[in-house]
Amino acid sequence: MDLSFRVLFLVTCCWTAFSLVSSETGALPLPSDVYLQFPNDFCVNLTWSPPEKLNSSTCSVQYHITVTAGQAGEPVPRTQESTHYQDCPDMENGVTYAVRTQPKSCGNRTDSKEVFKPIPHRTEKLVKEFKCFYYMPGAMNCTWRPTDGTRDLQLYYWDEQMEMKALGSCGLYFYSGEDKTGCHLHGKLPDFTKIYILLNGTRGPSTLKNTFLLVPRDNLKPPPPNLSVSEERHMLRLHCTPPDVFGDCWKCTYRYRSSRSSDWQEKYSSLDTPVHIPYNRHSRYEVQVMAVSKDICGIGASDWSKVTSFGEEQPADWSSHMALIAIPVVVIACVILFLLFFKKVRVLILPQIPDPMQLIKELINSKEEESNLAENKTVLQGKGSEKQVLCIPEEPEVCVNVRVEEPEPAADL
Ligand SMILES: *[C@@H]1O[C@H](CO)[C@@H](O)[C@H](O)[C@H]1NC(C)=O
Ligand SMILES: *[C@@H]1O[C@H](CO)[C@@H](O)[C@H](O)[C@H]1NC(C)=O
Ligand SMILES: *[C@@H]1O[C@H](CO)[C@@H](O)[C@H](O)[C@H]1NC(C)=O
Ligand SMILES: *[C@@H]1O[C@H](CO)[C@@H](O)[C@H](O)[C@H]1NC(C)=O
Ligand SMILES: *[C@@H]1O[C@H](CO)[C@@H](O)[C@H](O)[C@H]1NC(C)=O
Ligand SMILES: *[C@@H]1O[C@H](CO)[C@@H](O)[C@H](O)[C@H]1NC(C)=O
């Protein structure tokens, strides 16, 4: 037997065997009777039946479901054998379910097409700016602003630990005038799992509802911490007493500004130790603190605490005027004192320094005297007198008459 014959034989055998097992081929039929049921305001039950015209003893199937949240969400696929799928999604933004039959052990059959069941998103809103603050275990406040024309608002809540049909209702509403603007929820609230909130009411002729879902621990808002401010080693020491709710869950963030700057500076302490900031005693300081949740405890922060002031502002222009006056006064006084002192001491340490101006004056004076003297001499000589004038240049006024005895001429002898 040659090789090509053997291969042909094998293929034929396989083909025959396969044809005997799988009488039907191609894509499986669609699941039948696909419905959406709403056991409450927050959950949906997608139900269906196995495809008709499928012999379950020769072909077993499973179901492939994809859930696409919102308009552009990523589809989340899952596979199961049971014929219903329960989900409590964010219906407010719409969800689309798709289900198809998948072969589990069904010879050469392929997936069926998908059956789509969309839940449209809700376009009409009774309120805006819906927010909740989980401020201590078992207590949460939610607030909102009603949109125009909203009447008869009611708030209900539910979580997955509760019976499907059970609903909690708001025990205490907050009002602004006639309008409901918030609700205080208390009791057994979920912590790290979702809480579902329903607001329903009327607007004009229509009855509307909106739902919100949130994880309380991701909406923490404790009361602000207590703050103490003191001076320590020329610095300001800031210390916070964290809120005493939810245990050791808080870090403190400080912000401060001095009376000389309007900008807040932030300082953050990761440990439960005080922080130190530079301190100028001539300024007044304003300090605030905020508690921020540690990551393992959830998400959220308190409001800023009330402002704590420290120190007193000393008027800036008064001290600068003082400096402007005081510095020159002190400098002048020092110069005068120094000069007085120096004059006394100079005589002792330094010899008399000849005044160069005086020297020049003297030089000029002596020159003048000489010329005067010369004139006088000629006058005297012209008279042929025996008298001569001796003038002292220092005191030109003082002239002394001196009689000079002339010796007898030798020729007479
Ligand atoms: C399944 O059957 C189709 C025809 O019915 C055939 O074309 C295909 O090759 C088969 N697939 C397998 C994996 O046997
Ligand atoms: C969802 O529907 C299925 C089939 O009708 C039912 O067996 C199941 O109990 C329903 N689940 C809920 C939560 O209603
Ligand atoms: C399903 O297939 C088995 C085996 O091929 C056969 O005995 C049975 O009659 C079939 N049942 C139906 C409802 O077609
Ligand atoms: C929440 O509401 C209660 C009841 O009015 C109030 O005492 C509390 O201070 C509020 N807490 C916050 C964080 O808003
Ligand atoms: C709001 O929802 C509750 C609970 O589902 C229901 O009892 C009530 O009638 C609803 N109110 C309106 C105005 O739809
Ligand atoms: C903060 O101070 C107030 C008033 O002094 C006090 O009642 C409260 O218990 C303090 N909080 C903490 C967390 O120490």
| CATH pick for 23-119 out of 2.40.110.10, 2.60.40.10, 3.40.50.2300, 3.40.50.720 | 2.60.40.10
Residue 141 confidence class, pLDDT cut points 50, 70, 90: very high
Distances (CA, A) of 138 to 11, 133, 170, 187, 195: 71, 11, 13, 5, 12
pLDDT recorded at residue 94: 93
pLDDT of residue 194: 95
- DSSP letters for 117-145: EEEPPP---SEEEEEEEEEETTEEEEEEE
Torsional class of 148: left (φ above 0), alpha (ψ -120 to 50), beta (otherwise): beta
19 lines ligand 1 (CB under 6 A): no
Please report the atom of ligand 2 found closest to the CA of residue 83.
Answer: 4
Report helix, strand or coil for 84: strand
Is residue 45 lining ligand 2, measured as CB closer than 6 Å?
Answer: yes
pLDDT digits 0-9 by tens, 159-178: 999 999 999 999 899 999 98
Query: How confident is the model over 304-361, as pLDDT tens digits?
Result: 999 999 988 777 555 555 666 666 666 677 666 767 766 776 666 665 665 667 766 6
Residue span(s) of the chain under CATH 2.60.40.10 come to 23-119, 127-219, 226-310
Tell me, in angstroms, the distance from the centre of ligand 5 to residue 200's CA: 6
Phi/psi class of residue 138: alpha, beta or left (left: φ > 0; alpha: ψ in -120 to 50)?
left
Going edge to edge, which strands form the sheet with 32-37? 32-37, 44-49, 84-87
Residue 190 · residue 158 · CB < 8 Å: no
Q: What is the Å distance from ligand 3's center to 105 Cα?
A: 15
The CATH superfamily holding the domain 127-219 is Immunoglobulins (2.60.40.10)
Per-residue model confidence (pLDDT) at position 397: 53
**Which of 198-212, 305-319, 372-386 shows the lowest mean pLDDT across its residues?**
372-386
17 CA to centre of ligand 1 in angstroms: 13
Q: In angstroms, rounded to a whole number, what is the distance separating the alpha carbons of residues 80 and 61?
A: 10
Q: Which residue's CA is minimally distant from atom 11 of ligand 6?
A: 226
Give the closest ligand to the alpha carbon of residue 17. Answer: 1
What integer pLDDT is reported at residue 21 of this predicted model? 43
Specify the residue with its C-alpha closest to ligand 3, atom 10.
55
So what CATH class is 226-310?
mainly beta
Of all ligands present, the nearest one to the C-alpha of 108 is 1
- Residue the block writes with tokens 């329960």: 86
